[in-house]
Structures are given as structure tokens and as C-alpha cells.
Structure 1
């Protein structure tokens, strides 16, 4: 199955994990979650920038793993994904996950948000998590929600 076209800007404000995130892998992971053509910017940030953006746009005073700023859903998905390197690294260590696999999950998660998926309500969360699991398995990663 061919994947939608993707125009990607990949930025490293925090370069600590740049070797884990070569452009071709980031494109592959995002394309796996895209349902329509996309124009996305992915910015890897440090905790300070992540916290500032989360506070400014969501009113939450802490750095989070991924922030999605979605601008359009159709006919082209337009979004910025901001991923906090420190948070992703800490979460991967706490959950004993491969760091690259956790980045892949955060990119898939953010890309789904960019297309209108959400997890505020239980039924939405169930649908989004099922889609994330399907995509991650297709990419050759483990189920990110399996607790076993």
C-alpha cells in the first residue's frame, strides 16, 4: 500500500537524540500514521522549551512528551509536532522501552492528533490507542499499550 505524500521539516533544538531520528525513519513513522497528504514540522526540544510551550498553549506548567499543533485536516494535514527529548528519554527508561521505539510512538501519536484523533473521552481513547497499536505493530514495534 502506498503511503500519502509528506513534506517534512525536521528540526533539532535539542540534538541529543539526532542519531536515533534520521530523516528517512521519521518520515516512515509519520507516513504510517498519515491518512492524507501531510505538511508537518517535527521539532525536538529540550525541557525548557517544552515546558514553555505547554504552559503557553495548554496552561500546564511542565514539559510533556509530544505537543501537536494542528492547522488543517483536509485536503492536506498541516501540523507542528513538538517532542521533548528529555521527557521521551525519561519515559522510555521508566517503562524499559527502546528509545527509538518510544520516539516512533510519539510521532505516530502526534500525527494521529494532527488528523483529529483524541483521547479525552474513554471511547476516543480506545479508538486512538487501537489505531496506534495497529500502526506500531505494522512498523515492527511492540504494542505500546501492552502491559505484560
Structure 2
């Protein structure tokens, strides 16, 4: 999978965001039976201030969040709890991830930042593919799918 990474917060460089993003995105697509090399996305590694601005502009919430996603098209399943239809090759959309929130969440959970960031990138990619957690059935599907993908990467179930 081609992941065009833009880094605005220097902490992301030290973590190796580009490698984490490529590995996580490819694992998500491969798990779903998609050819990773047929897809592309953009990832912004930013700080809390930048993501708070984006969160307010796009979701009306003027606070930092861990990850945001903007699918290139609507891909949600028609029925809650069902898997979205797989997309044709091409651009999936964009993801932004905030350093400060991710670092705090990882510390609170007692896990390595790289593991938490990998989870959040998988989460963002699934959003681009039409998964969401707006209701219990969709949340259960998304969480189960995330755990399965993370297991292929040798990471524990985050839930």
C-alpha cells in the first residue's frame, strides 16, 4: 500500500511513523483480502493543536482526538453489523493522527506508543474502508476486525 506520510510533529520521525503506517495499512488490507499495492492513502502525523483544529472543522468538536479519517467515498454497509463492500483499487482517503493524545493514551494503558499507534492506524484505515462504531453492532464488528488484524502483526487485542 502506498502511504504518503506528512509529518508536522517531530516526535513522529523518532517513532518511525512511515514504517509503522505502511506495515499497519498493508496488514489491514491483506486481512480483508485486498491487494495492498492496489491502494493508497495519505497520513498526517501532527500534534494535538493541529488535530483539535481539524476535529473542530470537520466534526464540530474543538478538542484533540487520537485519530481522524476522511474516506474518499462513502463505503459503509447498508445494515448495521455487516461488513462494508470491498472497494475497487485506488485512493482510500486521508488519516490524521495526533502525537500527544497517542502518547498519553499509550502511557495510561501501559503499552508501547508504537503498538498503540499501529492500532490507531489500523482503526483509521478501517474507517476509510467503511467500518464505524456508531452503534453496538458496527462497533463489535470493527473491534473484532481490528483485533484480528493486530494479531497478524503480533500485537495483543486492545479491547
TM score, norm. by length of structure 1: 0.89
Are the structure 2 counterparts of residues 125 and 77 from structure 1 closer, same or farther at C-alpha, using a change threshold of 3 Å? farther
Asked if the contact 2:70/2:94 (under 8 Å) is kept, the reply is yes
In 2, the alpha carbon distance for the partners of 1:24 and 1:12 equals: 13
- The equivalent residue for 1:83 is 97
- The equivalent residue for 2:18 is 23
Q: Which has the higher contact order (CA 8 A, sep 6+)?
A: 2
SS in 2 for 1:117: coil
- The equivalent residue for 1:68 is 69
TM score, norm. by length of structure 2: 0.83
Structure 2: tracts of 5 or more residues without a match: 76-86
After superposition, the CA RMSD in angstroms is 1.3
* CA-to-aligned-CA distance 1:11-56 (integer Å, 9 cap, x gap): 1101113222253332111111124432111111111110000000
Task: Kindly report which structure 2 residues correspond to 1:35-54, keeping only aligned pairs within 5 A, or say none.
Answer: 35=32, 36=34, 37-54=38-55
- Divergent runs of 4+, >4 A: none
SS in 1 for 2:72: strand
